[in-house]
Chains A and B, each alone.
Chain A
Amino acid sequence: MEGLMIPYTAERRPDTGVSNGTLGIWLFLASEAMLFGALFSAYALLRTSATNWPVSGRAILGTGNVISMTLALFLLTTLVRRAARAASKGRQLQLLLSAGLALCFLGFKALEYYTKSAQGLLPSSSMFLALFYTLTAFHAAHVLGGLVANLWAARGVWTLDEAVTLGRIKALTLYWMFVDLVWIAILVAFYAL
């Protein structure tokens, strides 16, 4: 028995002008934007009305880990973008490498949480830290989701059509760019402002 073929998974639909996969990822990102919008709205509310807020977030959080995490995240996105243009073998390697970088990011994040909590800097310590842990934990959960998606796309490189794989990589590129954008907003909110 032949499997059910879902139309327009990779090719463009004439009415929307995009494939179903692309439309799906845009809708997903719109809902994610609302989620992070609500979190940043809470940040703006609590920060503006807080009676006690640190003068410099960098003094509390440090900058060592954050530079490594930023580099890992940006390199990861570049690799996923480049995977669209690579041959099958290189494509799978780049997807796996980017999944490895996502794992590095999560490792750095876990290390940061561990060192902060060892210093007694817990979410219950201050409003600043409560918001920091909430926003970065949500972001890290998205990095973990992207890691799983990268492995899933890498697994399908050899077994699926070229067009389907390309569609997946394009969706992943959009997703990682969104995750980068949220990370930049977090950097600005907690390290720059």
Chain B
Amino acid sequence: MRSDGPAHIGLRTRVLLVVLWVALISLLATPVMACPICFQVEDAQTISGVRAGVIVLMGVTVVVLTAVAAFSIRLWRNEQLNQPDA
């Protein structure tokens, strides 16, 4: 039995549809500029502000992750010590 679903559209028709879709998108598209904070920003104060924010956030994250890593190592050592002799 043959159903009328999208699975039965021929390959040539599919390619044509994709080409048409891409052409339509290309015609309707308007130029999009990258966010000025990341791309060609001219305000040096904004750059240093973002840099300071990232440094603080990275600092806190590194401290927390170091503590998690230290605790994981402690768990691993405890496991090694408590293992019965084979």
Contact = CB atoms under 8 A, between A and B. Distances in A.
Q: Do A and B come from one complex?
A: yes
Interface of A: 14-17, 26, 30, 33-34, 36-38, 40-51
A51 B82 CA distance: 59
Interface majority SS on B: helix, strand, loop or mixed? helix
Interface string B61-86: 10110011001001100110010000
Contact of A17 (B46, B60, B61, B78): B78
Given A14-B82, A33-B63, A37-B61, A44 B75 contact: no
A41 B48 contact: no
A16 B67 contact: no
A44 B56 contact: yes
A34 B45 contact: no
Given A14-B82, A36-B60, A37-B60, 8 more contacts: A15-B79, A15-B82, A16-B74, A30-B68, A33-B64, A42-B53, A48-B51, A48-B52
Contacts, number: 67
Nearest to A40: B56
Main secondary structure of the interface of A (DSSP, over half): helix
A49 B60 contact: no
Given A34-B60, A37-B57, A38-B57, A45 B78 contact: no
Given A34-B60, A37-B56, A41-B53, A15 B78 contact: yes
Interface string B34-63: 000000000101101111111111011101
Nearest to A14: B82
Contact of B75 (A16, A33, A43): A16
A66 to B, nearest CB: 23
A47 B60 CA distance: 18
A46 B52 CA distance: 9
A36 B56 CA distance: 11
Nearest to A32: B64
Interface in B15-30: none
Of listed A30, A38, A47, A49, residue having the most chain B CB within 10 A: A49
